[in-house]
Protein backbone atom coordinates (compact mmCIF):
# COMPACT_ATOMS: atom_id res chain seq x y z
CA UNK A 1 0.00 0.00 0.00
CA UNK A 2 2.91 2.26 0.65
CA UNK A 3 3.80 2.31 -3.04
CA UNK A 4 0.40 3.61 -4.08
CA UNK A 5 0.96 7.34 -3.36
CA UNK A 6 4.34 7.15 -5.09
CA UNK A 7 2.68 5.56 -8.07
CA UNK A 8 -0.05 8.20 -8.18
CA UNK A 9 2.55 10.94 -7.96
CA UNK A 10 4.44 9.41 -10.84
CA UNK A 11 1.27 9.26 -12.89
CA UNK A 12 0.50 12.86 -12.08
CA UNK A 13 4.01 13.90 -13.07
CA UNK A 14 3.62 12.08 -16.35
CA UNK A 15 0.27 13.72 -17.01
CA UNK A 16 1.66 17.18 -16.24
CA UNK A 17 4.65 16.72 -18.49
CA UNK A 18 2.39 15.44 -21.26
CA UNK A 19 0.03 18.34 -20.84
CA UNK A 20 0.53 21.12 -23.31
CA UNK A 21 2.43 18.84 -25.64
CA UNK A 22 1.08 18.27 -29.11
CA UNK A 23 1.69 14.81 -30.48
CA UNK A 24 1.61 14.69 -34.26
CA UNK A 25 1.66 11.37 -36.10
CA UNK A 26 2.92 10.82 -39.59
CA UNK A 27 3.65 7.74 -41.68
CA UNK A 28 4.89 6.82 -45.12
CA UNK A 29 7.94 6.72 -47.34
CA UNK A 30 11.11 4.98 -46.19
CA UNK A 31 13.49 6.70 -48.64
CA UNK A 32 13.49 10.12 -46.88
CA UNK A 33 13.33 8.59 -43.37
CA UNK A 34 16.90 9.58 -42.32
CA UNK A 35 16.38 13.27 -43.13
CA UNK A 36 12.82 13.27 -41.73
CA UNK A 37 13.89 11.83 -38.40
CA UNK A 38 16.70 14.40 -38.24
CA UNK A 39 14.24 17.20 -39.06
CA UNK A 40 11.60 16.10 -36.55
CA UNK A 41 14.27 15.79 -33.88
CA UNK A 42 15.71 19.26 -34.57
CA UNK A 43 12.23 20.76 -34.77
CA UNK A 44 11.36 19.24 -31.40
CA UNK A 45 14.46 20.88 -29.89
CA UNK A 46 13.27 24.27 -31.17
CA UNK A 47 9.64 23.67 -30.20
CA UNK A 48 9.68 21.47 -27.09
CA UNK A 49 5.88 21.38 -27.05
CA UNK A 50 5.63 19.77 -30.49
CA UNK A 51 6.44 16.10 -30.82
CA UNK A 52 6.30 14.63 -34.33
CA UNK A 53 6.22 10.87 -34.53
CA UNK A 54 7.05 9.36 -37.93
CA UNK A 55 6.67 5.70 -38.95
CA UNK A 56 8.49 4.73 -42.15
CA UNK A 57 6.06 2.06 -43.28
CA UNK A 58 6.24 2.70 -47.02
CA UNK A 59 4.50 5.18 -49.31
CA UNK A 60 1.50 2.95 -49.96
CA UNK A 61 0.95 2.43 -46.24
CA UNK A 62 1.27 6.19 -45.63
CA UNK A 63 -1.43 6.99 -48.17
CA UNK A 64 -3.77 4.33 -46.75
CA UNK A 65 -3.25 5.51 -43.15
CA UNK A 66 -3.93 9.10 -44.19
CA UNK A 67 -7.13 7.95 -45.85
CA UNK A 68 -8.15 6.05 -42.72
CA UNK A 69 -7.43 9.13 -40.61
CA UNK A 70 -5.01 7.33 -38.28
CA UNK A 71 -2.19 9.80 -39.02
CA UNK A 72 -2.05 13.59 -39.27
CA UNK A 73 0.10 13.59 -42.38
CA UNK A 74 1.50 11.10 -44.84
CA UNK A 75 4.62 10.89 -46.96
CA UNK A 76 5.20 9.36 -50.36
CA UNK A 77 7.89 8.92 -53.01
CA UNK A 78 5.25 8.85 -55.70
CA UNK A 79 2.58 11.56 -56.11
CA UNK A 80 -0.93 10.37 -55.36
CA UNK A 81 -3.03 9.70 -58.45
CA UNK A 82 -6.46 11.24 -59.04
CA UNK A 83 -8.28 8.12 -57.88
CA UNK A 84 -6.39 8.10 -54.56
CA UNK A 85 -7.00 11.84 -54.08
CA UNK A 86 -10.70 11.36 -54.65
CA UNK A 87 -10.91 8.79 -51.87
CA UNK A 88 -9.49 11.16 -49.24
CA UNK A 89 -12.13 12.72 -47.02
CA UNK A 90 -10.38 16.10 -46.98
CA UNK A 91 -8.36 17.31 -49.97
CA UNK A 92 -4.65 16.56 -49.62
CA UNK A 93 -1.73 18.85 -50.52
CA UNK A 94 1.64 17.66 -51.79
CA UNK A 95 4.74 19.37 -50.39
CA UNK A 96 8.07 18.39 -51.97
CA UNK A 97 10.68 18.07 -49.20
CA UNK A 98 13.95 16.88 -50.73
CA UNK A 99 15.26 15.31 -53.91
CA UNK A 100 16.69 11.90 -54.45
CA UNK A 101 18.45 10.19 -57.33
CA UNK A 102 18.62 6.61 -58.52
CA UNK A 103 21.80 5.40 -60.20
CA UNK A 104 22.59 2.58 -62.62
CA UNK A 105 25.30 0.50 -60.96
CA UNK A 106 27.25 -2.40 -62.39
CA UNK A 107 29.96 -4.93 -61.72
CA UNK A 108 31.79 -5.82 -64.93
CA UNK A 109 34.88 -7.98 -64.76
CA UNK A 110 37.90 -6.00 -65.87
CA UNK A 111 36.05 -2.69 -66.27
CA UNK A 112 36.52 0.07 -63.72
CA UNK A 113 35.72 3.00 -66.00
CA UNK A 114 32.59 5.09 -65.61
CA UNK A 115 30.24 4.02 -68.38
CA UNK A 116 28.10 6.34 -70.48
CA UNK A 117 24.62 4.87 -70.85
CA UNK A 118 21.68 5.95 -72.95
CA UNK A 119 18.09 5.46 -71.72
CA UNK A 120 17.52 3.16 -74.71
CA UNK A 121 20.46 0.94 -73.72
CA UNK A 122 19.31 0.71 -70.09
CA UNK A 123 15.76 -0.12 -71.17
CA UNK A 124 17.11 -2.72 -73.62
CA UNK A 125 19.06 -4.45 -70.87
CA UNK A 126 16.09 -4.45 -68.50
CA UNK A 127 13.75 -5.66 -71.27
CA UNK A 128 16.13 -8.50 -72.08
CA UNK A 129 16.72 -7.40 -75.68
CA UNK A 130 20.33 -6.40 -74.95
CA UNK A 131 21.94 -9.51 -73.53
CA UNK A 132 25.68 -8.91 -73.49
CA UNK A 133 27.93 -6.14 -72.26
CA UNK A 134 29.65 -5.67 -75.62
CA UNK A 135 26.34 -4.92 -77.37
CA UNK A 136 26.79 -1.97 -79.77
CA UNK A 137 24.12 0.04 -77.90
CA UNK A 138 26.34 0.01 -74.81
CA UNK A 139 29.71 0.05 -76.55
CA UNK A 140 29.07 2.98 -78.90
CA UNK A 141 28.97 5.81 -76.33
CA UNK A 142 31.95 4.21 -74.54
CA UNK A 143 34.90 4.31 -76.94
CA UNK A 144 38.09 3.06 -75.35
CA UNK A 145 36.34 0.83 -72.80
CA UNK A 146 36.90 -2.86 -73.43
CA UNK A 147 33.55 -4.47 -72.65
CA UNK A 148 33.47 -8.26 -72.27
CA UNK A 149 31.25 -10.56 -74.33
CA UNK A 150 29.59 -11.72 -71.11
CA UNK A 151 25.90 -12.15 -70.36
CA UNK A 152 24.41 -9.34 -68.32
CA UNK A 153 22.82 -10.39 -65.02
CA UNK A 154 20.02 -7.91 -64.34
CA UNK A 155 19.26 -7.18 -60.67
CA UNK A 156 16.14 -5.28 -59.62
CA UNK A 157 14.24 -4.60 -56.42
CA UNK A 158 11.83 -7.32 -55.31
CA UNK A 159 10.02 -5.19 -52.74
CA UNK A 160 7.65 -2.46 -53.83
CA UNK A 161 9.50 0.84 -53.55
CA UNK A 162 9.69 4.46 -54.58
CA UNK A 163 13.12 3.72 -56.03
CA UNK A 164 11.56 1.30 -58.48
CA UNK A 165 8.91 3.88 -59.35
CA UNK A 166 11.55 6.52 -60.22
CA UNK A 167 13.57 3.98 -62.23
CA UNK A 168 10.62 2.65 -64.24
CA UNK A 169 9.19 6.16 -64.69
CA UNK A 170 12.52 7.20 -66.23
CA UNK A 171 12.62 4.10 -68.48
CA UNK A 172 9.02 4.75 -69.61
CA UNK A 173 10.02 8.23 -70.73
CA UNK A 174 13.25 7.08 -72.34
CA UNK A 175 11.92 4.07 -74.21
CA UNK A 176 8.62 3.55 -75.99
CA UNK A 177 9.10 -0.22 -75.82
CA UNK A 178 9.44 -0.12 -72.05
CA UNK A 179 6.33 2.04 -71.71
CA UNK A 180 4.30 -0.35 -73.84
CA UNK A 181 5.56 -3.60 -72.34
CA UNK A 182 6.18 -2.81 -68.68
CA UNK A 183 5.16 0.70 -67.62
CA UNK A 184 5.94 2.38 -64.32
CA UNK A 185 5.02 1.60 -60.72
CA UNK A 186 6.38 0.70 -57.29
CA UNK A 187 6.25 -2.97 -58.35
CA UNK A 188 6.23 -4.00 -62.00
CA UNK A 189 6.35 -7.19 -64.02
CA UNK A 190 10.06 -7.51 -64.77
CA UNK A 191 10.82 -9.13 -68.13
CA UNK A 192 14.20 -10.42 -66.90
CA UNK A 193 16.44 -10.47 -63.88
CA UNK A 194 16.85 -11.37 -60.25
CA UNK A 195 14.93 -9.64 -57.49
CA UNK A 196 16.69 -8.53 -54.31
CA UNK A 197 15.12 -7.00 -51.24
CA UNK A 198 15.91 -3.37 -50.51
CA UNK A 199 18.72 -1.12 -51.69
CA UNK A 200 21.14 -3.13 -49.57
CA UNK A 201 19.95 -6.37 -51.21
CA UNK A 202 20.48 -5.02 -54.74
CA UNK A 203 23.87 -3.48 -53.95
CA UNK A 204 24.93 -6.72 -52.23
CA UNK A 205 23.90 -8.92 -55.15
CA UNK A 206 25.48 -6.61 -57.76
CA UNK A 207 28.72 -6.49 -55.78
CA UNK A 208 29.07 -10.26 -55.60
CA UNK A 209 27.69 -11.26 -59.02
CA UNK A 210 30.10 -10.81 -61.93
CA UNK A 211 28.76 -8.88 -64.95
CA UNK A 212 25.63 -7.72 -63.14
CA UNK A 213 23.65 -4.53 -63.62
CA UNK A 214 21.21 -3.01 -61.13
CA UNK A 215 19.83 0.23 -59.76
CA UNK A 216 20.07 1.73 -56.28
CA UNK A 217 19.62 5.06 -54.56
CA UNK A 218 22.62 7.33 -54.99
CA UNK A 219 23.67 7.17 -51.34
CA UNK A 220 23.96 3.35 -51.39
CA UNK A 221 26.27 3.44 -54.40
CA UNK A 222 28.44 6.06 -52.68
CA UNK A 223 28.52 4.20 -49.36
CA UNK A 224 29.39 0.89 -50.99
CA UNK A 225 31.90 2.48 -53.37
CA UNK A 226 30.20 0.98 -56.38
CA UNK A 227 30.70 2.42 -59.87
CA UNK A 228 27.67 4.06 -61.43
CA UNK A 229 26.98 5.26 -64.91
CA UNK A 230 26.68 8.71 -66.41
CA UNK A 231 23.24 8.74 -67.98
CA UNK A 232 22.23 10.69 -71.07
CA UNK A 233 19.72 13.42 -70.19
CA UNK A 234 17.04 15.14 -72.23
CA UNK A 235 19.59 17.66 -73.55
CA UNK A 236 21.67 14.79 -74.95
CA UNK A 237 24.56 15.07 -72.49
CA UNK A 238 25.92 12.28 -70.26
CA UNK A 239 25.57 13.47 -66.66
CA UNK A 240 26.79 11.94 -63.42
CA UNK A 241 24.49 11.80 -60.41
CA UNK A 242 25.56 14.40 -57.85
CA UNK A 243 23.60 16.59 -55.49
CA UNK A 244 24.15 19.56 -57.83
CA UNK A 245 22.95 17.72 -60.94
CA UNK A 246 19.90 16.42 -59.06
CA UNK A 247 18.93 19.90 -57.88
CA UNK A 248 19.50 21.07 -61.45
CA UNK A 249 16.94 18.54 -62.64
CA UNK A 250 14.37 20.01 -60.25
CA UNK A 251 15.28 23.54 -61.32
CA UNK A 252 14.85 22.54 -64.95
CA UNK A 253 11.40 21.18 -64.24
CA UNK A 254 10.45 24.04 -61.89
CA UNK A 255 9.52 26.38 -64.73
CA UNK A 256 6.31 24.50 -65.41
CA UNK A 257 5.71 22.80 -62.08
CA UNK A 258 1.94 22.48 -61.49
CA UNK A 259 0.28 24.18 -58.52
CA UNK A 260 -0.31 20.89 -56.75
CA UNK A 261 3.39 19.86 -57.10
CA UNK A 262 2.40 16.46 -58.46
CA UNK A 263 5.11 16.19 -61.07
CA UNK A 264 7.70 13.72 -62.19
CA UNK A 265 11.11 15.26 -62.87
CA UNK A 266 12.73 12.25 -64.51
CA UNK A 267 14.30 13.18 -67.85
CA UNK A 268 13.97 16.88 -66.92
CA UNK A 269 15.19 19.53 -69.35
CA UNK A 270 18.46 21.37 -68.68
CA UNK A 271 22.04 20.63 -69.67
CA UNK A 272 23.20 19.92 -66.11
CA UNK A 273 20.16 17.87 -65.07
CA UNK A 274 20.63 14.25 -63.98
CA UNK A 275 17.69 12.43 -65.57
CA UNK A 276 16.82 9.84 -62.87
CA UNK A 277 15.86 12.28 -60.10
CA UNK A 278 12.70 12.73 -58.12
CA UNK A 279 10.99 14.72 -55.41
CA UNK A 280 9.65 13.06 -52.33
CA UNK A 281 6.51 14.54 -50.83
CA UNK A 282 4.79 15.20 -47.53
CA UNK A 283 1.02 14.72 -47.81
CA UNK A 284 -0.85 17.21 -45.66
CA UNK A 285 -4.65 17.50 -45.44
CA UNK A 286 -6.00 20.98 -46.26
CA UNK A 287 -8.16 20.99 -43.15
CA UNK A 288 -6.69 20.16 -39.74
CA UNK A 289 -9.31 20.37 -36.98
CA UNK A 290 -7.02 20.60 -33.96
CA UNK A 291 -5.65 24.22 -33.89
CA UNK A 292 -2.51 23.22 -31.97
CA UNK A 293 -1.67 20.52 -34.49
CA UNK A 294 -2.39 22.85 -37.39
CA UNK A 295 -0.09 25.52 -35.95
CA UNK A 296 2.75 23.04 -35.44
CA UNK A 297 2.45 21.41 -38.85
CA UNK A 298 2.40 24.78 -40.62
CA UNK A 299 5.35 25.93 -38.55
CA UNK A 300 7.23 22.76 -39.38
CA UNK A 301 6.63 23.18 -43.11
CA UNK A 302 7.97 26.75 -42.97
CA UNK A 303 11.00 25.66 -40.98
CA UNK A 304 11.65 22.67 -43.25
CA UNK A 305 11.68 24.93 -46.32
CA UNK A 306 14.03 27.40 -44.59
CA UNK A 307 16.71 26.19 -42.16
CA UNK A 308 15.72 22.56 -42.73
CA UNK A 309 17.00 22.59 -46.31
CA UNK A 310 20.52 23.34 -45.07
CA UNK A 311 20.67 19.97 -43.30
CA UNK A 312 19.94 17.86 -46.39
CA UNK A 313 23.37 17.70 -48.00
CA UNK A 314 25.05 16.17 -44.97
CA UNK A 315 22.72 13.20 -45.43
CA UNK A 316 23.23 13.05 -49.24
CA UNK A 317 19.83 14.43 -50.19
CA UNK A 318 19.71 17.22 -52.75
CA UNK A 319 18.03 20.43 -51.51
CA UNK A 320 15.05 21.94 -53.32
CA UNK A 321 15.69 24.72 -55.85
CA UNK A 322 14.70 28.24 -54.67
CA UNK A 323 11.83 28.55 -57.12
CA UNK A 324 10.13 25.44 -55.74
CA UNK A 325 10.64 26.64 -52.15
CA UNK A 326 9.01 30.01 -52.95
CA UNK A 327 6.05 28.28 -54.55
CA UNK A 328 5.61 25.93 -51.60
CA UNK A 329 5.70 28.76 -49.07
CA UNK A 330 2.68 30.22 -50.86
CA UNK A 331 0.89 26.87 -50.85
CA UNK A 332 1.19 26.56 -47.06
CA UNK A 333 -1.58 29.15 -46.74
CA UNK A 334 -4.00 26.51 -48.05
CA UNK A 335 -3.68 24.48 -44.84
CA UNK A 336 -6.55 25.54 -42.61
Partner 1 sequence: MASPAVTADRVAGSPGWRDFLRRLRAGDTIAHAIVLVFAASILLITVLLLIELWGNSALSRAKFGWGFFTASAWDPVAGEFGALPFIYGTAMTSFLALLLSVPLGLGAAIFLAEMAPPGISDSLTFVIELLAAVPSVIYGLLGVFVLVPIMRQVVEPGLIKSLGFLPLFRGPSYGVGMLTSSVVLAIMILPFVVSISREALMGVPREQREAALAVGATRWESTWQVVVPFARLGIIGSVFLALARALGETMAVTMVIGNDPRISSSLLAPGYSIAAVIANEFTEATADLHLSALIELGLVLFLLTVVINGLGRLLVLTTTRKGTAQS
Which C-beta is closer to partner 1: that of 161 or that of 199?
Answer: 161
Stretch that binds partner 1, among 187-195, 214-222, 228-236, 281-289 (CB under 8 A): 187-195
- Convert 280-317 into a string of H (helix), E (strand) and C (coil): EEEEEECCCCCHHHHHHHHHHHHHHHCHHHHHCHHHCC
Residue 69 beta carbon to partner 1: minimum distance, rounded to whole angstroms = 18
Q: Using the rule CB under 8 A, is 175 a contact of partner 1?
A: no
Q: Which of 74, 162, 275, 319 binds partner 1 (CB under 8 A)?
A: 162
Instruction: Tell me the closest approach of the beta carbon of residue 123 to partner 1, in angstroms.
Output: 15
How far lies 321's CA from each of 32, 99, 140, 170, 248, in Å?
17, 10, 34, 21, 8
Confirm or reject binding of residue 141 to partner 1 (CB under 8 A): no
Residues in contact with partner 1, shown as a per-residue x/- string from 196 to 225 under the rule CB under 8 A: xx---x--xx--xx----------------
Q: Is 63 in the site for partner 1 (CB under 8 A)?
A: yes
Of 42-50, 126-134, 190-198, 250-258, the window that binds partner 1 (rule: CB under 8 A) is 190-198
Contacts with partner 1 in 72-131 (CB under 8 A)?
78, 84
CA 48 – CA 231 distance, rounded (Å)? 45
Examine residue 66 and tell whether it contacts partner 1 (CB under 8 A). no
Name the segment binding partner 1 (CB under 8 A); options: 14-22, 33-41, 158-166, 268-276: 158-166
Is 264 an interacting residue with respect to partner 1 (CB under 8 A)? no
Q: Does 278 bind partner 1 (CB under 8 A)?
A: no
CA angle 164, 169, 172 (to 5 degrees): 125
With binding defined as CB under 8 A, does residue 333 bind partner 1?
A: no
CA-based angle 53:59:62, to the nearest 5? 45
**Smaller CB distance to partner 1: residue 201 or 270?**
201
CB 132 within 8 A of CB 141: no
By CB under 8 A, residue 269 contacts partner 1 = no
213: number of Cβ within 10 Å = 26
Cα gap 109→174, rounded to integer Å: 27
CA dihedral (280, 284, 286, 291) positive or negative = negative
Among 186-194, 251-259, 286-294, 323-331, which window interacts with partner 1 (CB under 8 A)? 186-194
Residue 21 has phi, psi (to 5 degrees) of: -100, 135
Smallest distance from partner 1 to CB 236, Å: 29
Site membership for partner 1, residue 158 (CB under 8 A): yes
Number of residues that bind partner 1 (CB under 8 A): 37
H/E segment holding residue 256:
none
Q: Which is nearer to partner 1, 202 or 320 (CB)?
A: 202
Q: Residue 181: phi, psi to the nearest 5?
A: -90, -30
Q: Are 205 and 154 in contact (CB under 8 A)?
A: no
Residue 320 in contact with residue 94, Cβ under 8 Å?
Answer: no
| Angle at 163 (CA atoms; ends 184, 258), nearest 5 degrees | 65
Q: Does 151 bind partner 1 (CB under 8 A)?
A: yes
Q: Does 180 bind partner 1 (CB under 8 A)?
A: no
Among 186, 233, 312, 316, binds partner 1 (CB under 8 A): 186
Written as one string, the DSSP assignment of 181-228 is: HT--SSS---SS-EEESHHHHHHHHHHHSTTEEEEEEHHHHHHTT--B
Kindly list the residues in this chain that would bind partner 1 in the complex (CB under 8 A): 1, 3-4, 57-61, 63, 78, 84, 151, 153, 158-162, 182-190, 193-197, 201, 204-205, 208-209
Amino acid sequence: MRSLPVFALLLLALAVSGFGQTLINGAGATFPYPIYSKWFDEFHKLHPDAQINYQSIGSGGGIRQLEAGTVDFGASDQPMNDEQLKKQKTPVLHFPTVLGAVVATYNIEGVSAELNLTPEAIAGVFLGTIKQWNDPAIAKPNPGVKLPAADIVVVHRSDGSGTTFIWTDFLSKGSADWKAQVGSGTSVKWPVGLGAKGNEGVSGLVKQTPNSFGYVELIYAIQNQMPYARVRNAAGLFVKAELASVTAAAAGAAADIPDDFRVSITNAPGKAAYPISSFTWLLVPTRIEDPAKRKDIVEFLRWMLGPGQAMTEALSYAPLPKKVVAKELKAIALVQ
